[in-house]
């Protein structure tokens, strides 16, 4: 593995599941029994596809730690922010779509601003 390598993966926010707390980008600081630590945000995919992305992310984070490469995980998703939703067909769709231009812009940004050697970053992109 080339040491200066920067891996960029386009993933899905589906790997987080539907927790009843805010979804943080990559890591979550917790306090348990009087001790504090920062851990990877819990991932609870609800399909085999989501779980495959969870495993991709875990493998990338381990690779960064073990071999000192750098990686960025761009998780895609949709969120309701007060804008009307577009209904396609009969309204039975169960998945959202993200504009390819938005995704390409995010990929360009992380390529221009790579993670530090040994770092694994995760960013959540919503439309």
Which residue numbers are catalytic? 12, 49, 53
**Interatomic CA distance for residues 93 and 116, integer angstroms:** 39
CA 96 to chain centre: 16
Burial of 127 (0-12, 13-18, 19+ CB in 10 A): middle
Q: Where are the beta strands (DSSP E) in 41-119?
A: 70-77
**Interatomic CA distance for residues 85 and 67, integer angstroms:** 44
**Interatomic CA distance for residues 104 and 120, integer angstroms:** 20
């Amino acid at each position: 593995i080339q040491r200066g390598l920067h891996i960029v993966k386009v993933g899905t926010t589906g790997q987080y599941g539907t927790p009843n707390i805010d979804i943080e980008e990559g890591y979550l600081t917790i306090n348990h029994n009087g001790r504090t630590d920062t851990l990877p945000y819990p991932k609870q995919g609800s399909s085999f596809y989501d779980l495959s992305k969870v495993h991709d992310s875990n493998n990338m984070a381990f690779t960064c730690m073990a071999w000192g490469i750098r990686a960025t995980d761009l998780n895609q998703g949709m969120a309701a922010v007060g804008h009307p939703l577009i209904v396609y067909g009969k309204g039975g769709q169960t998945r959202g779509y993200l504009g390819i231009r938005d995704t390409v812009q995010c990929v360009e940004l992380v390529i221009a601003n790579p993670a530090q050697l040994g770092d694994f970053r995760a960013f959540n992109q919503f439309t």
